[in-house]
Amino acid sequence: MRRPARGDACEARAARSYRPRRDTRAIFGLSGASASPKALHVRFSTRPPAVAVTQEVFVRMPAAMSPALPTAAAQPLVRFAGVQKTYDGVQLVVRQLDLDIRRGEFLTLLGPSGSGKTTTLMMLAGFESPTAGEILLDGRPITRTPPHKRDFGMVFQNYALFPHMSVGQNVAYPLTVRKVPAAQREAQVARALAMVRLEGMAERFPSQLSGGQQQRVALARALVFEPQLVLMDEPLGALDKQLREHMQIELKELHRQLGVTFVFVTHDQGEALTMSDRVAVFNNGVIQQIDRADCMYETPANRFVAGFIGDGTMLKGTLAEASGDGRCVVALPDGRRLAGVDVNGAAVGAEVVAGIRPERLVVHAAAPADASNVLPAQVRSIVYFGDHLRLMCHVADGQEPAVAKLALSSAAIPRPGDGVWLEFPRDLTRVYL
C-alpha cells in the first residue's frame, strides 16, 4: 500500500484559549461599522492597560479574489509576526506566534479548550491586543487598528442577531452604518440572502427562524459588505448533528464560490477535516502542526496530533533499532517487536509509542503466513457505527486497546472473546516520542 505524502511544515507556536467579554456594538462594528468610532462607541474592556492604541490603519478593500487556492509562495493575506499575549503580565498565553494566512484559503484553528485558538482569533479580530509582535494585513500593520476599521466579517456561535430587527434589517446593518444608498443596500441584501438560501425571508424576525436559519442570517450579514476576510468562532456549535454536518458542506461550497478567506475556530476535528484547506492544531498555547487536512490525519507530526485528530491504536514501548532512512523497530514491554516510521527522530532506548489508524490495521481471523509486524489479540467488544464496525482488541496488559475498523461486508466478523491477528503495515505505523 502506498504511503500518503508527508505534510508541509510543522510550526511550534504558543497561545491558549480565552473568551473575552464581548461588547455587542463592537461585534457589529467588526462586521462593518462606520469609520467614526463615535458611531458605535466601541469599548475594549479586555485591553491590557500596558498596550496603548497609538496608531490607526485604514485598510483598503482589494479587488475580488479568485476562488482558486493560492500557492504557498503567494504573499499571505494575514501574517502574525512574533505575536505574544499575556493577561496578567506574568504568564504568556501566546508565545512567539508566527503564522501566515493565505489569501483565499479556508484555515481552521483546531484544538481542545484552553489551547489558544480563540485568543488568536480575537487578536486578529481586534477584540484583544497582542502584548508583543505585529499582525499584518496585506503587509500593513493592523495591531493597533480597532475592530470596526478592519473590515472583517465575523460570525459567532450565538448568532448575535438583533431580535427587534427583521432578517433583512439584520443583514443590512453593516451597509446601513456605512451609509450605503438604499437601492444598492437592498440589492446587496438580496444577493447575500440568496447566497445562504434564505430568499423570501427578509421580512421575518429571528424568533421565527430555526437555529440553522439564524446561523445563515449571521453568515449573510458577515458577507453582505464583501469583506476580504471572514472570521468564525465555533459558529456551528449550537446546531444539532445533522444540521451541523449539512452546514459544513454549505460553508465549504460557499467558500469555493466566493473565494473569500475564511478563518474558522472549532474544537471539533470532524468540522476541521471536512471543510478546511489547511488546519492549525493548537495545544497548550502552541501550534503543534499546520498542514492540509488529509496530511494532518495521515501524517501527524507528533503524539498529540496523532491522538487529537481522529483515533487509533497507541502501543507503548522502547525504541530498539533506528536507521538513517527513518525506519525503526519498537520493542514492546512483553518482548514483541513492531517496525515502523520514526517520526520524531527518537534515539535508541527512548520511550516511544507506535500508532496506527483503525482503517490501516489489518485484521486476520487466522495467523498469516508472514507473521512479521503481526500481534495476536483478543476481541473485547464490537461497536456498531452504521457503516462499519469497530473492534476493541486486547493486545497486552498495560497497553491501551487496539482499535480496528471492519467493513460490514467482511466475510468473517469475529465475536467478543474471539482471537484475531492484527497486522501493522510498516509504512503506516508511525512511532512518536
Does a structural domain hold residue 158?
Answer: no
Does a structural domain hold residue 48?
Answer: yes
CA pair distance 18, 140, nearest whole angstrom: 26
How high is the pLDDT of residue 245?
Answer: 86
Does a structural domain hold residue 327?
Answer: yes
Q: Are residues 271 and 330 in the same domain?
A: no
Do 109 and 263 meet the contact criterion of CB atoms below 8 Å apart?
yes
Does a structural domain hold residue 133?
Answer: yes
Residue 5 has pLDDT above 70, yes or no: no
Residue 146 has pLDDT above 90, yes or no: yes
Task: Calculate what percentage of the chain has a pLDDT beyond 90.
Answer: 60
Q: For residues 22 and 342, which has the higher predicted lDDT (pLDDT)?
A: 342
Q: For residues 324 and 34, which has the higher predicted lDDT (pLDDT)?
A: 324
Q: Are residues 409 and 331 in the same domain?
A: yes
CA pair distance 236, 247, nearest whole angstrom: 8
285-314 pLDDT, tens digit per residue, is 889 999 999 999 999 999 999 999 988 999
CA pair distance 252, 275, nearest whole angstrom: 5
Does a structural domain hold residue 83?
Answer: yes
Q: Are residues 375 and 403 in the same domain?
A: yes
Q: What is the arithmetic mean of pLDDT over 157-164?
A: 86
Q: Are residues 387 and 427 in the same domain?
A: yes
CA pair distance 129, 87, nearest whole angstrom: 10
251-261 pLDDT, tens digit per residue, is 899 999 889 99
Does a structural domain hold residue 398?
Answer: yes
Q: What is the arithmetic mean of pLDDT over 113-138?
A: 92
How high is the pLDDT of residue 74?
Answer: 64
Task: Calculate what percentage of the chain has a pLDDT beyond 70.
Answer: 83
Query: Which residue, 270, 298, 326, sits at the end of a domain?
Result: 298
- Close Cβ partners of 390 (under 8 Å, ≥ 6 residues apart): 358, 382, 383, 403, 404, 405, 406
Q: For residues 7 and 110, which has the higher predicted lDDT (pLDDT)?
A: 110
Q: Are residues 425 and 289 in the same domain?
A: no
362 confidence band (pLDDT: 50, 70, 90):
very high
Q: For residues 27 and 320, which has the higher predicted lDDT (pLDDT)?
A: 320
Q: Are residues 148 and 289 in the same domain?
A: yes
Does a structural domain hold residue 196?
Answer: no
Average pLDDT over the chain, rounded to an integer: 83
**Closest alpha carbon to 288 in 125, 117, 170, 71:** 117
Domain that holds residue 339: 312-432
Q: Are residues 38 and 121 in the same domain?
A: yes
CATH number for the domain including 330? 2.40.50.140
Pairing mode, if any, of strands 374-384 and 327-331? unpaired
